Structure 1
């Protein structure tokens, strides 16, 4: 396989930046099956816990209507109050169901996607009006998978329902000889048991669907090697440009460092590999500490020694001191206390040579 073909294949996993850009466009991992299954499970559990309370509210509303409402004369004077009272009773009965369903939907969406606000998905896309694109989507592999998933879901729910009713068939027949209050209690118990089983099956299928949707999403987000390189250039900058910038920065640092060498007190060498320029300012109290003003190895060390000789700065060979200063003391820092004695001897030698 040629390099151009390998460069064009999407073999690389998506980078965090690509996933973040896709998220801004509303492209995230999400399973609508998981939303439906979780909401169904929460609603079934809600009815199992608070179904008796809702039924009691419903009985009270019907009792009030059958005892008081039918005997009341409806007129323009009392129509508003009757209508408001009926709406309040209706919302009292239906609002807990709506609120629980809404909260469950928001929770599962937040668990999948997190907090995401984007207008990208609302922007018009005229390519969707193309009939050929629509036909391709209808007969695509994803569309066939969704069709198979829907048929499998219907078949599985039908099988679960059949097995449930078949195992409790005699119980359903006994409802024919049960009083109304007993009928509701028994039938609601069986209906909630069936709903719980269906919800569990839905939830298992939804988790599997989420795993599949995640795999498909990550597959669609894959990048070519060239895409990764281009993104790296955009995020981190072109490596060639960065190397040139670093080279210029090093040159500027070296230039400033070389400007400090003529004003240094002494240059300590290794003698050929390292060179460290020290400046000693005694200060008013005579307690100044020598400071490293320039250091370098190899060619930079040669330049430091050359500049020092041109400006008559003493060059002293001391291998241990030069090696320690180069490895442990940065430019602009004072020498550590453990080198006071050794550097004092070097400075004494320099002052002796200068006749001071």
Structure 2
């Protein structure tokens, strides 16, 4: 029964039930994994392109018809020479560029704007890296028969149905005028079919934009579902950010050892070691070139205190017992810093005693 309970707890800890942490979201974004709908791009592109055609359709038609008129009225009479061919191609390219450039510029703006609207500014090369899993046939088969593939199929059928219904409805409404086009001039027929085509494009673009709102909502939901984390994942991430407690404890212990070793190396240069006598030991030094007051070069309690006294004895550093001063200096003083003014007199008396003793010796 105990093993069963532990197994259930283990599986519960591995279930992806928690929302992604900010670090997880940042890592997935760096990999290029962001919620994005291609329908938003398509809808924006079609809307702006057909809007541009609606606004600039007249000037574009004039450029194209003028180009054909010029070709059949002037170019047709030119001799076929290298210079004339070069001139024809250059002028034709320039005229066609005046028609295509606005449409291409608007298409680029639409693509950039739709991506910024969904994703924001993001630069990553992760999707371009070689990944053998992308050509794994088993993984490919799983994607084909996955729930996401089914959703994409339903979405594609819905888009085709919507666009087809819209275009058919517009053609059906204008069927009578369309049947009478044979009775109108070429310019009238071009105006009619151009206007009808732009109307179908704008209506389809609006329909795709409405559909893209639903698709983007689904993409966000699917993205949030894919980046969910288990409680174990969150704990592991916290350990990675803050550091493993055991490793941190070892690092602190190592730092203490290094500090103690460095502190012990200062004891031989101390002027005096003030003791408790058993629990505290504080090594004090006075160097007027460093500080205006005596300062603590080493301090410790219990084992460290005994070690300080041993090093002091081995290096002939005088030890003086003063219980209240030793306890006070340990609590109120910092390593390699001058002692507090409250203890100047007491420490000065001890140093004077030590200097006199050394002078006698």
TM-score by length of 1: 0.72
Q: Take 2:337 and 2:177, find their aligned partners in 1: how far apart are those partners?
A: 91
For residue 314 of structure 1, give the secondary structure of its aligned residue in structure 2: strand
SS at match of 2:77: coil
Q: Does structure 1 conserve the Cα–Cα contact (< 8 Å) formed by 2:284 and 2:297?
A: yes
Partner of 2:77: 72
Q: Does 1:325 align with 2:332?
A: yes
Residue by residue over 1:151-182, the C-alpha shift from the partner in whole angstroms, topping out at 9 and shown as x without a partner, is 3333444565577778x869968996877666
Partner of 1:292, secondary structure, is: strand
Q: Partners of 1:270 and 1:55 in 2: how far apart?
A: 103
Deviations 1:225-273 (A, max 9, x none): 4555566666776543342232122112123223434543456789998
Structure 2 contact 277–321 (Cα < 8 Å) conserved: no
Change in CA separation of 1:355 and 1:28 when aligned onto 2, cut-off 3 Å: closer
Unaligned stretches of 5+ residues in structure 1:
none
Q: Distance in 2 between matches of 1:100 and 1:222?
A: 38
Report what 1:116 is aligned to: 124
**Cα distance in 2, alignment partners of residues 88 and 222 from structure 1:** 54
Gap change, CA 1:354 and 1:18, over 3 Å in 2: closer
Is residue 129 of structure 1 aligned with residue 129 of structure 2? no
Matches within 5 A, 1:1-356: 2-14=8-20, 27-69=33-75, 71-72=76-77, 75=80, 78-109=84-115, 112=119, 114-118=122-126, 120=128, 123-125=131-133, 128-130=136-138, 134-158=140-164, 192=198, 195-227=201-233, 238-265=244-271, 277-283=283-289, 288-296=292-300, 299=302, 302-303=305-306, 306=309, 310=313, 311-316=317-322, 317-318=324-325, 322=329, 325-326=332-333, 330-335=334-339, 339-340=340-341, 342-351=342-351, 353-354=353-354, 356=356
Query: How big is the shift at 1:141?
Result: 0.9
Q: Distance in 1 between matches of 2:346 and 2:61?
A: 99
Question: Secondary structure of 1:282's match?
Answer: coil
CA contact (8 A) 1:308 1:314 kept: no
User: How far is the alpha carbon of 1:303 from its aligned partner?
Assistant: 4.3
Shift of 1:145: 0.7
**1:60-104 Cα deviation digits (max 9, x unpaired):** 2133134324x4256355445434443443333223323432343
Distance 1:321 1:162, change over 3 A: farther
- Cα distance in 2, alignment partners of residues 118 and 200 from structure 1: 33
Q: CA RMSD in A?
A: 4.5
Task: Return 121-130 or 255-264, whichever deviates more.
Answer: 121-130
Taking structure 2 as the reference length, what is the TM-score of the superposition?
A: 0.71
Any unmatched runs of 5+ in structure 2? 357-361
1:272, 1:188 → 2: CA distance? 102
In structure 2, relative to structure 1, the CA distance for the partners of 1:225 and 1:274 (3 Å cut) is farther
CA contact (8 A) 2:271 2:351 kept: no
